[in-house]
């Protein structure tokens, strides 16, 4: 069985229109068919058991630089898999793993993770969190929602690993990352200081 393991794109642009083929069709059926949904959850759990080595049990990572997958929108996750498969995101290991997956494995994996509850992280520095809240509510909410849950086009940030969020934001701001790029995020993060980035990362990690 193929495995599902990827570094979640945090702030990618529109996604659903680019997803095509059998996995999306199967996902749509899961959303409206309770019996198929139950079957998909069982298969998705088997795939997730392999992914747990990096992404943690039920999609809650124990590694600071590895993203949580729990609670993400399934169509958003499916598009990230497709990006690895077609080369829009580059990672030799991920590309090979995802290309080897069957359509039902891809669809079931994202469906499983979408049903899991992401673990909320307590505040470490209230002042920094407050600063992050202010910044998020002025800028980030436009795409990721006031609750940080995102949608099928933009990643859920609520409950995400703060170190991973900070790393991703710095890569967008600093450029030069050939593995992934996004003009919108490059523009949005251009004026962020390291303190801004760390504050936003701390704030979203606390969101339920």
Q: 25-38, pLDDT tens digit by residue?
A: 999 999 999 999 99
* Contact between residue 93 and residue 16 where contact means Cβ atoms under 8 Å apart: no
To the nearest whole percent, how much of the chain has pLDDT over 70? 87
Tell me the pLDDT tens digit for each residue of 132-146. Answer: 999 999 999 999 999
d(CA 164, CA 160): 8
Specify the pLDDT at position 4.
36
- What is the value of pTM for the model shown? 0.84
First-to-last C-alpha distance (Å) of the chain: 33
**Mean pLDDT, residues 53-81:** 93
Pick from 36-40, 54-58, 96-100, 164-168: least confident: 96-100
Q: Which two tokens stand for residue 140?
A: 């980030």
Pick from 66-75, 119-128, 151-160: least confident: 119-128
**Alpha-carbon dihedral sign for residues 65, 183, 69, 24:** negative
Q: Is the pLDDT of residue 89 over 50?
A: yes
Query: CA angle, 81 as apex, 80 and 86 as ends, to 5°?
Result: 100
Contacts of 112 (CB under 8 A, 6+ apart): 40, 41, 43, 44, 45, 47, 48
């Amino acid at each position: 069985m193929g495995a599902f393991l990827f570094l979640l794109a945090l702030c990618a642009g529109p996604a659903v229109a680019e997803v095509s083929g059998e996995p999306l069709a199967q996902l749509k059926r899961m959303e409206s068919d309770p019996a198929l949904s139950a079957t998909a959850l069982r298969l998705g759990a088997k795939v997730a058991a392999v992914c747990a080595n990096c992404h943690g049990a039920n999609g809650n990572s124990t590694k600071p630089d590895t993203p949580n997958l729990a609670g993400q929108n399934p169509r958003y996750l499916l598009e990230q898999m497709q990006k690895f498969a077609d080369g829009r995101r580059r990672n030799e290991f991920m590309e090979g793993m995802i290309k080897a997956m069957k359509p039902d494995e891809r669809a079931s994996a994202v469906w499983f993770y979408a049903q899991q509850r992401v673990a909320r992280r307590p505040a470490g520095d209230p002042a920094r969190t407050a600063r992050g809240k202010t910044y998020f509510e002025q800028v980030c909410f436009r795409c990721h929602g006031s609750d940080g849950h995102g949608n099928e086009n933009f990643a859920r940030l609520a409950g995400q690993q703060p170190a991973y969020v900070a790393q991703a934001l710095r890569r967008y701001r600093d450029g030069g990352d050939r593995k992934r790029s996004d003009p919108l995020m490059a523009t949005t993060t251009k004026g962020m200081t390291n303190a801004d980035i760390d504050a936003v990362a701390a704030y979203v990690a606390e969101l339920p």
